[in-house]
Structure 1
Amino acid sequence: HDENLQRVLPTLTDAGLKLNMHKCKFNQPSLNGHTISKDGLQPDQDKVTAVIHAPAPHDTSSLRSFLGLASWYSKFIPDFATVIEPLRAVLRDSTDLSFEWTTEAHSSFTSFKDLIVNSPALALYDPELPTYVKIKMRELSLLHQELFFSAERKYSTVEREALACVWAVERWRTYLWGRRFVLRTDHQALTTLLTSKGSGRAGLRIARWSARLLCFTYDVTYRPGNQNVTADCLSRLPLTAENEATEEPDMIAAVFKESLCAISLPEFTSASEICPELSLLRNQIEKGWPKCKKGLPENLAPYFQIQHELSVHGSLILRLTDRLVVPASLRARIVDLAHEGHQGIRLRELFWWPQLDKFVHSVIASCVNCQFSDKVVITAPWDCRYAIVFTDYYSKWPEVAFSSTVTTDVIRFLATVLSREGNPMYLVSDNGCQFTSHAFSTFLQHLKSSVYYPKANGVVKRFNRVLKECIQTCERSHSSWKQMYIEVFSFTFNSTPHLSTGYSPYFLAHGREPRLPANVHISSPKVSDCPQNYGSELATRMDAAFETVLLHHEEQKQKREYYYNKDTQFRPYACGDLVWIDDPTTQRQKLSPNWTGPFKVVSVDEKGLLYKLVDVKYPQAATRVIHYDRLK
């Protein structure tokens, strides 16, 4: 205790930290309800006395309080989960209004008191001795500490045995991480299933549990149940001889790889001692750093910026409190070990050396398996790949939403717009799977445009072109406010008069022009204070705008028809004609055909623009509805 204290206090002084003496306690044999002595760890006698005189719980609140105290001392109680189960059953069956104290619960209550009074002392952990984890799975509990959940009780015996092993190792990871230990079980199948030999034989559930043990270095051994009598963490009996004060070394994160052995603490320490770079670094830390790095050796220059984060612990060097500085001889091996689990640059949570990220990135970039399984690079802004656009054909008012998926987000977006604006007379969409799914058909009935004919929904396609230009501009400017950029763009678009209507979408939707930033210092137009008069004025403006919009639409329609028919000869097909289809789904190569078919015309709409076709070669196939422009 005194030796550890003499190392801690100077370290705090060097770091410029101060301690409040009124909050500090030294040479205390009791801590957090436990008594620490040469014999080991025992419950505090004052707490034990409080448990002995504790009255039986009379409601759920007092029962929860007692269970919390009991759980705190669970490590001293053999078969704790089974002993305390009747109390937990009372808590599960009770409510705030009904509380039934059963005979079994009272027996469990008194049994716990007897066991805590006669509880053994737990020997202090000695890292210099071999470590054994001895597993004994009970029918209803995990190592006497935790009960199996109802679903876990349905597992097979081998699965419950494997779960007990994983639970025990993770519970005692503080003692096991970074050093080799022996996992001893009375279930012989686990000697294969929890090692690299059984990686291809274990079921998916045991394989997932085995993956959780990859960061530990262990050997699995089998001992029959009649010989595995000490399979409990409480079996650490007090040592007869006095424990000499030993310095517990810092634990190293041992990263597992099936084909290679994990790096042990002695190996890491030895490599740190003989590493020339770390030897210079240790000497520099001990004698102090200069004010500038001009006179430092070249290989110590990267450490100058983090000099206050480095500390020496024996032969090891730590950055902050939990990252080991790795010697040059082990860097490639550590990255190789960690990369076997394909965890990318998470290695820096455990280790550090100069240019660590660059080193790891180069390893990942050269790994063929990582490149095959890596996530697809998302090129759309703020990780949203899709833009959902809803446009009013009359006012040209657009609604835009961005999403990473287009399955249920389309329905949610339309429900939001329609609940605010009301239902349209009809709704037109393309033939995307999100609009033809069963979920969408149950949401609403709508019209679908011709396949691979964007002109059929030209208003939306034209706006998408402008929206795309806006997003490209946003990308080029590297704006960090991309969502706000799009919202500003939408407001600007809605405030600009549209060529086909002569009015801005905002005016046709609200009956007035928007108040722009340039209008802040200009007085607003006067409006009637009477709601009825304002309503009449608004209706007059909207009626006049409606007539003007119809005229503009008709003029634009005639102009488009003139230019379209100028060089086009319209020759509609009749039922029974054989036609060819321009199919953009075929791979267009130099020698590949541009047309597929032939197809037979089954029916024609009244305008002669949409044709229902059937494949001549495969008449049993589904019919297609194709626009005139894609036929010949």
Structure 2
Amino acid sequence: MSRFQVPPPEKFTFKADDWPKWIKRFERFRIASGLETQAEENQVNALIYSMGEEAEDIWVSLRLSPEEEADFHTVKTRLDAHFVARRNIIFERAKFNQRQQEMGETVDSFHTALQCLAEHCGYGALHSEMVRDRFVVGLKDKRLSEQLQMDPELTLEKAVNRARQSEQVKKQQEMLNCNFRADVHVDGVHARQQGGARARANAQQYRQKVKKSAQETITQCMRCGDSKGHSMQQCPAREAVCNQCRKKGHYARVCRSKKSKDMKIAMVTEDSGEDGAAFLGSMSDKDTLSPWITEVKVDNHSTVFKIDTGADVTAVSETLYNDRQFGKLEKPSKVLRGPGGTRLQVKEAGVTLNDKCEFSKNKIKFLGQIIEASGVSPDPEKVKAITAMQEPSNVSEVRRFLGMANHLGKFLPHLAEKTRPLRDLLKKSNMWSWGSQQQKAFESIRADLSTPPGLALYNPNAETLVSADSSSYGMGAVLLQKQEEDGWKPVAYASRALSDTEQRYAQIEKEALALTWACERFQEFLIGKSFHMETDHKPLVPLLGSKRLDELPPRIQRLRMRLMRFAFTISHVAGKNIATADVLSRAPVGEKDSDLSEEDINLYVDAVMSSLPATESRLQQIKTHQENDIIIRQLKKCCVEGWPDKFLADRSLQPYLQFSGDLSVHSGLLLYGSRIVIPASLRKDILSKLHEGHLGITKCRARAKQSVWWPGLSKDLTTMIEQCDVCARERTNMKETLLPTEFPTRPWSMVGADLFQFGSQQYLILVDYHSRYFEVAKLTSTTSEGVVEHFKSVFARHGIPDEVRSDNGPQFSSEHFCKFARSWNFRHVTSSPHFPQSNANGYSPAELLMGRRIGTTVPVITSQLNPGGADMKRLRETEQKYRYKLQQNYNSRHRAHDLSQLQPGDHVWVKGLQERGTVVSAADTPRSYVVETPKGVLRRNRYHLSPTPVAPDTPVISPPEEDNTDPEEDRVLETHNPVLERRFPVRARAPPAYLKDYVCSNNRN
């Protein structure tokens, strides 16, 4: 048997756009010809040879190794990288969105082109929806496009099928119209003419007309009727098709085919491009008799009018003509009159009458229902047909009985419950068995249909309520409206069975699905109207009502998005108060849900799961640990079967009960919203990964909020970060609230002192905290002795203060200055003084210090220079308001708060010294502590101390720092110099890798 020879594909064009299609053709050739079974090197040679001569240059430029040259898949990958550039997704989507159906392009070709363009747009799960939208909008038949856009259940497959049907119908209509034009024949009916002069005149006129036509024929072309002379090859009608006889080679106006002797017909057709277009022709008799006219006087002028401006001739079939004989017209059966007795002009009012229309009726039958003022009820004749049926003997008869019963199902809220034994017989997996349950259900349905309840008519102005419930295998819903007299009354019932996938949903997801399905089912009544929903599942109320969308579980999030087009409120009611919906859910009708697509929900959930920041192997590891965790297994069971009462729940489940509304199961994983619930065995590892990089508590919590959860996660993160030794060393404390210095009660009782430099000269400045009066002295020496001499000079002029505040400079911390303070009897405090930036009290420093204004070069009345005391009460009030405002501004700007107090024995990290220490006691000054470190006993502000979890066994050795204090002094040290905290962690420093084989030294000598 000879083997089928497969020719190789045509040579490659070496255009980048053609490469994907060409390489696919070669792959098919490789498989069909059996080339793939040969050696890899032969496959590579066949590929290069089939591409063409230019491939040799490209082969050289690839610079492949001998091993790579012998690997077909490696060569193909390198060629793909050579020809296929990275696609511009924005440009690809722009091309896709601009694509329209071209003139003469079929629906299938347009659909295929859109699918090819969308392949490079990266739409992912939305691929089908985007192609559907572009297909509908891009159709050249705008009427069909509008009809498709109004279909809320439209899918891509449905849109393509309807477009194909429309295209096929148009082609068939064109064929029918052509046949109609070719075969149409209408007989004219005339009154028989009597012989006489008029008949002879008509005959003479006809003979002259025939003679004239014969003369014109001699000078005209027989094919086109043109009087201009031309050859047969040049005739424009040589390839034309006659519209009368459908033959080729001439126009209809010169057609010599047999025509009707009684009437000549001119027919004009109009082909509509719209759906459902029908052929409409108009006919006129060129040789008709005299029209019916009359003479009418208008404005004193006689004018001829046609009596009837319609068609002169009415075309009817011969059978209809003989049957009716068109005798005298019958009188109308009834004349419609308005409230005032005036006749109603139906046509002017835009009303179309139909044989089925009934007026002035209190009750009518329509589609097997009785419609009256009180509501809607089933037609007794339809009910009688069901109640008179014999019990079914096969599946077809059961299906017929259920179909008739379901037609009246909206009148019976419990119909679905009773039809369940009968519906089980329709399943292919079940054998036919008519037992007592089926017989009981059959008889119960017939009995209920004998006296079915009625439904209220829908009132758009009445208060509306949607009640829905879900069981483990079905959903039920009822639409109720509040009547003026009867209270709440049902308008419609609905129920359906859950699919196999939906039955595996968590119970809260089933309840959300039931409410969403109910709104979709009754959307004709609910869209554009505010209404209320009720559920017996309390955790569902915040999920569909007030909770943020991004905090919801994936399935409930998708269902919540479905409900966004409805204006509703939701509340919880006890299960006994929604008995109707509950019963419907426990015995649903087996119908499919077209509005709320199960596939749509699953695609959305898969998209959420794929966005989790975890690899497939990591997710599988978490899933395995969840299966091994007893608590997680119990939680999964509760999610599917329902949660127990909080008083009866197992103790291990108590921490999860308050989060039951957010827990769900998807793909075997227990989720909290869209976050993975971590079992206890993995929590320590997850905590360490969340704290990688030693992030703070806020960032660690934000990181955890993206992917993982367990009860107490925030507390566990806080504890771990507080016990982290690295964080304690690198942490920068928050600024504490401002503690303003207390305003002195009298001048020169509290004085601040400091040194400053101006130019190259050093100066001493002393400021009175009460009056802000300051003294400046030029220093010839910055030693303690030189500073003390200037202090004595200032104190001699203004008196000795009660307290002097300064920093910890060597001039003020020396023993000489301490002896000076003791001998002159004032208290020396070293702290950071807080000087106000402005006076803000209305008095000058001289007035507050000396009790009088000082004369200046500005003219002033002498009496104003007399001594006079300031209003101290007003001064203190103003000062307190100013200091309070200053404190509030500082605290607000820096977001300051008080740090926790330290206790003796607490282990701390001392900023600046980079040493560990132990708190000995609280210092005399506010927010200061005495700390014992390897360098001695120091006094430090709380801002410079960071608590550490435990004291290390061995101290951390830090490089020595320069210290200006006297090492011989055995006393508590303190400093108020600002410490510049490092903003970023210390970079790990190491010699380069290329120096690892060398011994490096910092000695440059």
TM-score w.r.t. the length of structure 2 is 0.21
**Greater RCO between the two (CA within 8 Å, min separation 6)?**
1
Higher Cα Rg: structure 1 or 2? 2
TM-score w.r.t. the length of structure 1 is 0.33
